[in-house]
Chains A and B, each alone.
Chain A
């Protein structure tokens, strides 16, 4: 399976600022997914990032708040914009390896964001 490096692992940010989270994969992947895990909660899909096209956002998430880049098949970023304390969560990226199949689903170790 793919190996994912997610940075930063944690950060404490001021209200109103923005944070960009990076997700680097050691091999080419077709689809990358960004999830949010609020304190004590399960994972909720924010958006799906495909290389060469706009990200697809789930209900309740918008591009202005969570802009995503996918410049190539091994890298993606998620920006949390104009942050408020409600954005305090763990953010995880997940990838599907090229060739499809369920065996390639892997998660990064997450970014713990605290907004003060």
Chain B
């Protein structure tokens, strides 16, 4: 089975600064999707950004961008101009191109310091 590793249980960032959350994964597949989900205290899982493995270009959604290194099986999330509302648990997730199950990392708790 695929595994997703988030090696940073906790991170903090000053408001308006930039922070990068790390994620690595293990797979033998060549086609797949990668995601970053945000889970605030409300528990709602919110999709932040997604990346198709066949695309070389890194995905970007406003202040959120990824650094996708397919050969290294690395998928980091960069949050620019951090805001207080960005404080949450962030989960990296993998989904096979043909399957339906998500494989989640253990999460990184992000604190934004005013």
Contact = CB atoms under 8 A, between A and B. Distances in A.
A112 interface: yes
Interface residues of A, number: 21
A110 B43 contact: yes
A110 B91 contact: no
Interface stretch (A19-27, A41-49, A66-74, A79-87): A41-49
Interface residues of B, number: 19
Contacts of B35: 105
A8 to B, nearest CB: 13
B33 interface: yes
A90 B43 contact: yes
Interface of B: 33, 35, 37, 42-45, 47, 50, 52, 91, 95, 100-102, 104-107
B107 to A, nearest CB: 6
Interface string A103-116: 00111111010000
Given A45-B102, A107-B44, 10 more contacts: A33-B102, A41-B106, A42-B104, A43-B91, A43-B104, A94-B102, A102-B52, A107-B45, A109-B44, A110-B44
